[in-house]
């Protein structure tokens, strides 16, 4: 038990920072975000796929061939961009985000309807009432 005391004291005196994630779209950027704020653009996968592949044919067989060809021509950087975009969408799904925009504090508290970090923080502090 005595061996844990220094670690407990370190935790007590160390500053803690709330992890903040904003789930939004490109049309509604985060407001008052700092370098520690994670911003997830839920429309990023669609925007990236559209910019990389363009519009697919309405014919399913042709569309499948176009997609296959496009995937084979993707660079490693483009692949990573798509993976990261989908990770954000999956994070929203895992957290149970019901709509956007949403500001999430410590993966627990959610304030819907704003991308303004300061406003969301005030709403959270006041117990959800503005």
Q: What is the pLDDT of residues 81-123, one digit of tens each?
A: 989 999 999 999 999 998 999 999 999 999 999 999 999 999 9
Q: What is the pTM of this model?
A: 0.75
* pLDDT > 90 fraction of the chain, expressed in percent and rounded: 59
Query: Are 130 and 123 contacting, i.e. CB atoms less than 8 angstroms apart?
Result: yes
Rounded CA gap, 87 and 30, in Å? 19
* pLDDT for res 71: 83
What band does 52 get if pLDDT is binned at 50, 70 and 90? Answer: confident
Indicate the domain borders of the chain: 19-125
State the Cα–Cα distance between residues 8 and 22, nearest whole angstrom.
31
């Amino acid at each position: 038990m005595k061996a844990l005391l220094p670690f407990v004291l370190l935790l007590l005196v160390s500053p803690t920072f709330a992890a903040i994630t904003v789930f939004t779209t490109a049309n509604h950027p985060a407001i008052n975000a700092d370098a520690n704020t994670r911003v997830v653009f839920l429309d990023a996968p669609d925007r990236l796929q559209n910019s990389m592949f363009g519009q697919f044919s309405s014919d399913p067989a042709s569309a499948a061939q176009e997609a296959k060809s496009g995937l084979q021509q993707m660079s490693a950087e483009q692949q990573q961009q798509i993976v990261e975009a989908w990770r954000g969408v999956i994070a929203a799904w895992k957290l149970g985000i019901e709509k956007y925009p949403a500001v999430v504090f410590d993966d627990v508290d959610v304030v819907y309807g704003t991308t303004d970090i300061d406003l969301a923080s005030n709403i959270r502090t006041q117990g959800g009432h503005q």
